[in-house]
């Protein structure tokens, strides 16, 4: 029997490397998939942050706020548990049929539909009567106002979500989750992971 030559030893080593390559390739594929998922989540978080900033700017400049409905006095138009987006406007701009929020001294604001409008003591003042869509009669007394908050639109069923977002435990969990995601995405890769990104020909994938 002849002794193995250097060429045969190199060919055997190449065969052994080829048979052992699937495991590192699979590990590299899993790592690439994980990082791709992290990138997608980071982009989504960044987009959500930009949207929140834009909404805050719009709300501040356009006098827009949110109103949560605890009762069903405006059902079925605005059921209990809904959140309405409202904008502060002069009382002189509203009309009968508009749904508005009126602030009351020493009491919670009321959001009902306008049933009548009368002039007030000044050019900017109006005396309005209102009624909830689910109520059989107008509110007990009229409201003298110079500004009101008119309902632009409402979203049913999300009041509980907004309330939950203000919970310290929920906020803490979201903060921790975001921190973990950012650390995981930007954590320096090991030398082994870096080598796995380069093919045998030395070309970066």
Whole-prediction pTM:
0.61
pLDDT (tens digit, 9 = 90+) per residue, 20-64?
A: 455 555 555 666 776 777 677 777 777 777 777 776 787 777 788
Backbone angles phi, psi at 45, to 5 degrees: -65, -40
Model pLDDT, residue 184: 67
Model pLDDT, residue 203: 47
CA distance 1 to 145: 109
Pairing mode of beta strands 99-104, 83-90? unpaired
Q: Which residue has the higher pLDDT, 163 or 125?
A: 125
C-alpha closest to that of 117 among 84, 94, 149: 94
Q: Is the pLDDT of residue 115 over 80?
A: yes
Q: Which residue has the higher pLDDT, 3 or 38?
A: 38
Q: Is the pLDDT of residue 119 over 90?
A: yes
pLDDT (tens digit, 9 = 90+) per residue, 143-187?
A: 999 999 999 999 998 887 776 666 677 667 767 777 776 676 667
At 96 the three-state DSSP class reads coil
Model pLDDT, residue 105: 84
Domains of the chain, each with CATH number or no CATH? 11-59+166-196 (no CATH), 71-157 (2.30.30)
- Report residue 130's pLDDT band, with 50, 70 and 90 as the boundaries: very high
In which element (H, E) is residue 60 found?
helix 22-61
Model pLDDT, residue 39: 74
In which element (H, E) is residue 181 found?
helix 168-186
């Amino acid at each position: 029997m002849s002794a193995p030559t250097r060429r045969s030893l190199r060919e055997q080593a190449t065969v052994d490397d080829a048979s052992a390559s699937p495991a590192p390739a699979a590990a590299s594929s899993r790592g690439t998939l994980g990082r791709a998922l992290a990138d997608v989540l980071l982009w989504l978080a960044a987009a959500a942050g930009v949207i929140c900033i834009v909404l805050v700017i719009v709300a501040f400049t356009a006098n827009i706020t949110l109103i949560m409905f605890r009762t069903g006095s405006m059902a079925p138009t605005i059921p209990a548990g809904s959140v309405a987006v409202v904008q502060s406007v002069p009382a002189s701009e509203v009309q009968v049929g508009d749904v508005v929020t009126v602030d009351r001294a020493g009491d919670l604001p009321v959001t009902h539909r306008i049933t009548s409008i009368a002039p007030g003591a000044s050019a900017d003042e109006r005396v309005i009567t209102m009624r909830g869509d689910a109520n059989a009669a107008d509110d007990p007394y009229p409201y003298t106002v110079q500004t009101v908050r008119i309902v632009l639109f409402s979203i049913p069923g999300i009041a509980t979500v907004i309330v939950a977002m203000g919970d310290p435990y929920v906020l803490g969990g979201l903060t921790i989750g975001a921190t973990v995601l950012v650390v995981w995405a930007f954590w320096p890769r090991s030398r082994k992971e870096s080598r796995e990104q380069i093919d045998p020909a030395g070309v970066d994938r």
